[in-house]
Each structure stands twice: as structure tokens, then as C-alpha cells.
Amino acid sequence: MLPLPGWTRAFAFDDVTRRTRRARRPRAAIAGLLLLTVLALVAVGAPWLAPADPFALSGPALAAPSPDHPFGTDDLGRDVYTGVIHGAWSSLLVGVASAAAATAIGLVIGGFAAIRAGAIDHLLMRVTEFAQAVPRFFLVVVVVSLFGGRLWLVIAAIALTAWPATARIFRAQVLNTLGRDFVMAARACGSSDARILLRHVMPLTAAVLAAQVSYQVGGAILSEAGLSFLGLGDPRIMTWGTLLGAAHQTVSEAWWVALFPGLALTVTVLGCNLLGDALLQRDAESGR
């Protein structure tokens, strides 16, 4: 059999690469969605899966995993399994609420900046760049340290530091769409700016925005875990960061205290990232 010319081999290899990427995308999306679905089911079913109080002293301190305590106990005798199950609800609440608030702020600022070009756009983008330049986690730590670690304040602090990325992405998408024929036709028919954004721009940017929300959920969960690890979270609510904060002094002698909440945190953020990557790849391929 005659060998294929070089350009033919390159074309065939490129075609195989594209097919492989297309095959991986649904698997990544399904895996991410499955992980997040399991997390949501665990969070909703926490009262039935672990009916005990997560702060209750239910056994000897630093007890190894056993039938009575599947994930062992921490240095205070609290059941780690109960803490991980109840921590799923608080972590998911912080992630979803923070991402939703940050997305709403970013959509308003990014859309208004794109529609009102000129001085308003320039001013809003300079404010966005300044907010993006400030270290996010450091700012959240300062706010929570000054005003307390109540859960709603943690959500607000994370949201107020996470909106710049959404604002810049949505502004770019709006500017890319405003020059299209159907948008100009809508303007000629007398459609308002808000109607154009909601009816014509938002459907085209849904995949990118959904991916950004997915990333923000994972980032918010990590931020809350970091705050709780430092002892700045809400002391009345059990989170994965609370368990990790209690484990850092005993991890050498009780590995289970850090392993199980760490795995839960890792799997959750992995699910968010897999789903976000799959959505971005789908949008990029549809744009071609």
C-alpha cells in the first residue's frame, strides 16, 4: 500500500484529534454533572443520611474509621462522616449563592458598559480592572475579619470580589453581538437596550456564562473552605473548611480527619471545572 502524502496524513491526524475531543467533551460534561448531582442529593438528604448534630461529641477523640464512625472522629470527638455530609449543604449554598450574586452584578455592569459606550464604558471598565487587580482572597479575609464570619456576609464578600470576570466576559460578548444584523433590525423596530440584551444577546452567551458560573461555584467553595480553615467562617455552621481547620494539627496521627473533607472538596471543585470546560468547548466548536 502506498504511503499517504504528508498533507493527507496531517489532515487525517487533525480529523482524528477533533473526533477525539468531541468524544471527550460529552464524557467530561456527564462526569461533572454526575458529581454535582451526587453532591446536591447528599446536601438535600443530609438530615436523613446523618441525622445527628455535626457538632455533637459522639465518640472518643481521634478514633479511627469504624462501623460506628465510618470516617472516624476528630480531636474533639465529633463524627467526621456527619460533618462531611452536613458540610455539603453549607458548601453548596455558599458556592451557588455567591456565584449567582456575582453573575448578576457582572451582567449588569458588563451589559451597561457595552451598551453605553464611551465615557461610561471607560469608567466601568477601569473600576472592573481595579477590582480584578485586588487580591480576592485577601480582600475577603479583611472584610470577614472586620465584620464577622456570618454565612451571609461570607457569601456577600465572595460575590463582591468575583464579579469582574463575568463583567468583562459579558461585555466582550455584547460588543461582539451588537453589530449583527438581527440586533440592528431589533433597534430599527424600536427595541430597548434591556430587551436587546435579554432577548438577543443572552441566548448567544448562555454557554459561556454557564461555564463561568460553574467555575465561580468551585472558586467560592474553595474560598469559603479557606476562610473556615483560618477560623474566620461562621462558627455555627459545619463546613468542609471547618473540618480541615481542625485537622491540620492532628493530620500526622489521624489522617482520616483531613482525608474525607479534602476528598469531598476536591471532587466538588473537579465536577465544577469539568462541567465548565465542557461548556466552553461546546461554545467554541459551535462558534466555528
Write the pLDDT tens digit of every residue in 86-138.
Answer: 999 998 999 999 999 999 999 999 988 988 878 888 999 999 999 888 888 88
Window from 20-24, 28-32, 199-203, 267-271 with minimum mean pLDDT: 20-24
In a domain, 17, yes or no: no
| 8 Å CB contact between 29 and 271 | no
Domain annotation covers residue 209:
yes
In a domain, 142, yes or no: yes
Per-residue pLDDT at 216 exceeds 50: yes
Task: Please check the confidence at residue 5 and state whether its pLDDT lies above 70.
Answer: no
For the residues 200-229, what does the mean pLDDT come to? 88
The residue to which cell 469504624 is assigned: 66
Residue 59 lies in a domain: no
pLDDT value at residue 8: 47
Please check whether residue 8 lies inside any domain of the structure.
no
pLDDT over 80 at 285, yes or no: no
Torsion of CA 48, 90, 235, 227, to 10 degrees: 150
Q: What is the CATH number of the domain that holds 166?
A: 1.10.3720.10
266 part of a folded domain? yes
Instruction: Identify the residue with better confidence: 273 or 251.
Output: 273
Q: Kindly tell me if the per-residue pLDDT of 13 is higher than 50.
A: no
The whole domain housing 171 covers 22-54+74-287
pTM recorded for the entire structure:
0.83
Mean pLDDT of 255-273: 93
Q: How far apart are CA 21 and CA 175, in angstroms?
A: 29
Instruction: With CA atoms as reference, report the closest residue to 234 among 138, 111, 90, 97.
Output: 90
Domain count across the chain: 1
Mean pLDDT is lowest, of 10-14, 34-38, 48-52, for: 10-14
pLDDT in tens, 149-203: 888 999 999 999 999 999 999 998 888 887 777 777 877 787 777 788 888 788 8
Selection from 33, 99, 73, 29 nearest residue 277 by Cα: 29
What is the pLDDT averaged over residues 260-265? Answer: 94
Left (φ > 0), alpha (ψ -120 to 50) or beta: where does 104 sit? alpha
The answer to whether residue 151 sits within a structural domain is yes
Cell 502524502 maps to which residue?
Answer: 5
Q: Residue 22's pLDDT is what?
A: 52
In a domain, 224, yes or no: yes
